[in-house]
Structure 1
Amino acid sequence: MHSHGHSHANDDEKHEHPVASRKQMLWAVLLTGSFMLIEVAGGLISGSLALLADAGHMLTDTAALLLAFYAIILSSKPADNKRTFGYGRLQVLAAYTNGILLIILTGWILWESIQRFYQPNPIQSITMLVVAILGLLVNLIVFKILHSASTSNINVRSALLHVIGDLLGSVGAIIAALIIWQWGILWVDPLLSVIVSMLILRSAFHIIKDSSHILLEGKPLEMDSDQIRQDLMALQGVEDIHHIHLWSISEQEPLMTFHAVVGDAYDKDLMIDKMLDLLQKKHGVTHATIQAESENCKGVLNPVGCEEQAFGKSPN
């Protein structure tokens, strides 16, 4: 006989978001978008590529934060007949898209920087310095708003990377403005733009890599399938664990399916309960589907006498 059991974490828990949540993200959007307009004006007046590059980055940031904000709203929608796992993966898709946007933006900044090395423009260093300092303050505020949620949410982390890029851009613009003001070295402006771009590019690569791993149904990076198998096998009555599959909807929603061979002397319903409890408490698996098999049916596909009985269980 085969038996199936599955468990879902409480739906309210699945749709919680560490950013408290939409309100804070909306504030980040408004602050970033408003200052982007100021920085465009400052870059045009001062003639600074570092400021214009940072303004272009902030424009992308505003779009990225809007995308992240929209993903948070949609991902809180409950599962339906069309999306049976819900909409949580929209946040991962938003993170992937933001990573691509960061790479495109970096390419534009690098191209403009190369042009400036050959054709340096006169720069009003005082205007550049004032705008860069204001930009640093705005970015610090936005960074503080988003930082608390960034460790557990790849969508917010990708948005935060845009903000960190802006922080670096503002610091670079301040340094460039001071050097130009004191010594008139114009090439430092595009040079610092290149350095900031390289830092942004590295971060974008990691965001694309992590989000791609989730989109390709990769195993949650912090989970060890061998260790999980050992823990399940340690339960008395569990003879074998095989056909293990681990993946996730988002970083906070790991899922798992596997087959468990249960000793004939043990109640399969009770063993499924024990396995689900272990997975939830020790490994944080919020959704597990288990197919329990008898010892004499191990490795046999629909043998005579091993008819399948399906049922669902939800301890929560």
Structure 2
Amino acid sequence: MSEHDHKHNHSEAGHTHDVSNLSGKKIFWVTVLNAIITIAEIVGGILSGSLALLSDAVHNLSDTVAIGLSYVANRIAQKPKDAKKTFGYQRAEILAAFINATVLLVLSTVLIVEAIKRWQSPESINGTLMIIVASIGLVANFVSVFLLEKDSHENLNIKSSYLHLLGDTVSSVGVLVGGVAIMLWGVVWIDPLITLLISLYIIKETWHVIRKTVDILMQSSAPLDYEAIKTGIEKMDKVKNIHHVHSWMTNEKTIYFEAHVDMEDMQLSEAEKVNEKIEDYLKENHGISHVTLQAEVDRCSDKKMFKI
């Protein structure tokens, strides 16, 4: 017998923080700002000979694509469930986050290699031009980060784009400082050093997003306290055992949970009440969005929590 929650709200009311109201106008201006920065830094990097500026330009170019992809994925994720996608389209955002983070990881690795080469063979750099272009990039990046900061806390997809922008903001500060050092003291080796530090920082921040998106896409178990769940449910009246538990996530907020519940022999109407009590417990105490329970009476010989 499979009991679904018909009496409780399955409309995912707890998901209002999935930035479904992400502003198209906000995304448009962030994209425009990043396009301006990219063009300015490519020209400035070539004219000044600064690898740090060119690395910043590459990051900003990837930002423009990443933000556009995030916006499209966000809109796809809001499509209602249908016969082809009974779980909905929420994983479009997880795919976008994974793609964005992976691209940024690859670009950062390439820049580390280029920084090492530049360190071994230093080139003359125009520090004044570096400062001017980096200042433009810093202001534009700061505005972009401000526009997406709020949404990034509640959505892994937007967070991946926000990390792009945050990395470039930090990068612009580094390039600006490097330009000052080159102009005042002629220390050209600081340019590849800044590139290296920026790239390592971005790799560190990006790795978390990649790891989490891979877990979701591979349907890894949701991060729940399973022992507490087992103890809490098995304390309930008329419940003998909970076993064959499965859990997964469609995005970073939506948790699915299914299990077999061994109950005392009773009428169907009584079993439904026990199921409702378990569902309420899981939602209120463990933040689980969707619950599917199979009630049974001594049916499974294997009573382990997780079936092998």
| TM-score (normalised: structure 1) | 0.88
2:148 maps to what in 1? 146
How is 1:57-72 mapped onto 2 (pairs within 5 angstroms)? 57-72=59-74
1:305 maps to what in 2? none
1:281 maps to what in 2? 284
2:275 maps to what in 1? 272
How is 1:68-217 mapped onto 2 (pairs within 5 angstroms)? 68-217=70-219
The answer to whether the 8 A contact 2:20-2:78 is kept is no
Structure 1 stretches of at least 4 aligned residues deviating more than 6 Å after TM superposition: none
User: Could you tell me how far 1:26 is from its partner in structure 2?
Assistant: 3.4
The answer to whether the 8 A contact 2:44-2:133 is kept is yes
1:243 maps to what in 2? 244
- Unaligned 5+ runs, structure 2: 303-308
What value does the CA root-mean-square deviation take over the aligned residues? 2.1
The answer to whether the 8 A contact 1:28-1:142 is kept is yes
User: Could you tell me how far 1:72 is from its partner in structure 2?
Assistant: 0.2
User: Could you tell me how far 1:16 is from its partner in structure 2?
Assistant: 5.6
**SS of match in other structure, 2:123:** coil
1:4 maps to what in 2? 3
Moved more, 265-274 or 56-65: 265-274
Distance (Å, rounded) in 2 between the aligned partners of 1:258 and 1:89: 23
- Unaligned 5+ runs, structure 1: 301-316
Residue type at the aligned position of 2:169:
L
2:23 maps to what in 1? 22
The answer to whether the 8 A contact 1:6-1:290 is kept is no
How is 1:250-269 mapped onto 2 (pairs within 5 angstroms)? 250-265=251-266, 267-269=270-272
Distance (Å, rounded) in 2 between the aligned partners of 1:27 and 1:77: 25
Moved more, 229-238 or 68-77: 229-238
Moved more, 273-282 or 241-250: 273-282
1:292 maps to what in 2? 295
User: Could you tell me how far 1:298 is from its partner in structure 2?
Assistant: 4.5
The answer to whether the 8 A contact 1:42-1:127 is kept is yes
**SS of match in other structure, 2:240:** strand
User: Could you tell me how far 1:27 is from its partner in structure 2?
Assistant: 2.9
User: Could you tell me how far 1:180 is from its partner in structure 2?
Assistant: 0.2
User: Could you tell me how far 1:11 is from its partner in structure 2?
Assistant: 5.1
User: Could you tell me how far 1:199 is from its partner in structure 2?
Assistant: 1.0
RCO greater where, 1 or 2, for CA within 8 Å and sep 6 or more? 1
User: Could you tell me how far 1:215 is from its partner in structure 2?
Assistant: 0.8
Distance (Å, rounded) in 2 between the aligned partners of 1:186 and 1:153: 40
State the Cα deviation string for residues 71-106 of structure 1 (Å, max 9, x = none). 101111111111111110111111111121012111
User: Could you tell me how far 1:237 is from its partner in structure 2?
Assistant: 1.8
